[in-house]
Chain A
Amino acid sequence: MLDYLLQQVIFALAIGAIYGLIALGYTMVYGVMRLINFAHGEFFMLGPYLFTFTMAALLALGGLPPLVDTIVAIVVSFVAIGVLGIAVERFAYRPLRAYGRLAPMLSALGMSIVLQNAIRVTVGPQPVHFPAIVPNSPIEMLGGMVTTTQLGILAAAVVLMAGLTAFVNGTRIGIWIRAASESWTTSSLLGIRVNRAVSLIFFIGPGLGAMAGIMYASYYGIMQPTMGSAVGLKAFTAAILGGIGSIPGAMLGGFLLGAIEVFGTAFLPIVSGGAVGTEYRDVFAFAVLILVLLFKPAGLLGETVTEETVVAKKDY
């Protein structure tokens, strides 16, 4: 039993880390722009595709050791998806800013369809095999079996999250981002070029999303054009659970959602005597979404939105 439990804990942490990384993109964008970026899941989906293309190109060129190829492909994916994120904001969202909150959100839904179908048309709708980045070998830990891929995902995600936390808390630009996410108007009065903070957020968020996508694809060994909508929606739930707008909240929400989903799925068949099984996995995430929205709409670490703060935000 203990070995089974440990296996589930590692699995929950790995999948939770992936949700958390994606949730960061949702929460940072929402924080500054009050926009739910429905196209964010597509950056997650594009990550593994771009990684695969880059790897193929590097292999065709030849001459570099495989490890260098992999690192270059990871960096290229982060930067290219980040630049794509900046472009999407600049050309699909910014021109609509003056028209309320609904217009950019609809534009985001449209972007999602465009990006997903771009891959569907060019690469094809069918799932494609995604090779493991690190050799996927099982390790025995405390009697349970975990894989190097799980540990690798966890380590990489923790490094990325720690890096982001250090950046937003410890640098001037990071403080600008937090200031902008608290009040656009006040930040502009302080001389902060909020549009640049927005561009930076649209670089970091999609870049982290792409990293999560590579992790997810290497975990399950496949990628497909629809993976972004399914996983993206769950990560969005994680952001709501943690308190949308809050960066630590997104990370916490990701890990919590991973735990709820994995343990729910693992123990449901046992508790119900096999009557209901793992097919209920997705139910947990969206049950959480509904419960949070009903009983604690501000999420775990989000600011409590009172009438007073709404008025203050509207005015100054």
Chain B
Amino acid sequence: MLFGIDLEVKAGEIVTIIGANGAGKTTTLRSISGLTRIYGGTLTFKGRSIKGIAPEEVTRLGLAHCPEGRQILQRLTVEENLIAGYLPERGQSFDAIRSDVFAMFPVLKERRNSLASRMSGGQQQMLAIGRSLMASPELLMLDEPSLGLAPKLINQIFEIIISLSNAGISLIVVEQNASVALEIADYAYVFDAGRCSAEGGARNVLNDPGLKEAYLGA
């Protein structure tokens, strides 16, 4: 259950949602992308209400959701996963986006014909992000992109997130790994038991000793 969440992402920003397990972070993303029905409040993307719109149509508007646990299509190859995520209606050519994705994640190019199930956890995370990019999103929501990854890979994923932001994509990053997320984000929301207990510039949240306790779940 979520109560009175008031969340805003400005164009080009990286916004992070942090908080303990069960605080409602994933539910918030699912509500935005239409996977979970919301009963009250408003939901607006680029000035247009998207409340009650089906997930596939939300994605087609340019709001992509890269779900928790990666959700790679295991029985498809890497390339087929990218094809599955491509939306020609978004106005970009498949080859152009794919070469961008391959430049960002060279391992996907190397293993383009492998079955996705044969990829390691880190590679699957890269595939999940790459696949979301195939929809040419203007706003990309990443749910726990660092989950289960080695520290070196976590850094790599967060560097990618920064470069996506530099390329003009707005981002919502949901993370349990709060300190890393706060370092790259512009703005942060701290969730606690379905409510937003604090918000502010990411730097301020990072350096606020009182808040540290809240988002580290101590």
Contacts and interface: CB of A to CB of B under 8 A. Distances in A.
Interface of A: 172, 175-176, 178-179, 182-183, 185-194, 303, 312, 315-316
B83 A182 contact: no
B84 A192 contact: yes
Interface of B: 33, 35, 54-56, 59-60, 64-65, 67-69, 71, 73-76, 80, 83-87, 131, 134-135
B56 A182 contact: no
A111 B86 CA distance: 37
Nearest to A182: B73
A172 B67 contact: no
Contact of B75 (A191, A192, A303, A312): A303
A186 B87 CA distance: 15
B1 to A, nearest CB: 17
B71 A186 contact: yes
Contact of A189 (B59, B74, B80, B83): B59
B67 A186 contact: yes
A262 to B, nearest CB: 31
Given A175-B80, A190-B131, A316 B87 contact: no
Contacts of A189: 33, 35, 55-56, 59, 64-65, 67, 71
B56 A192 contact: yes
Contact of A172 (B59, B71, B83): B83
Given A189-B64, A191-B64, A191-B135, 18 more contacts: A175-B80, A178-B80, A182-B73, A182-B75, A186-B71, A188-B35, A188-B56, A188-B59, A190-B56, A190-B59, A190-B85, A190-B131, A190-B135, A191-B85, A193-B56, A194-B56, A316-B68, A316-B69
Contacts of A188: 35, 54-56, 59
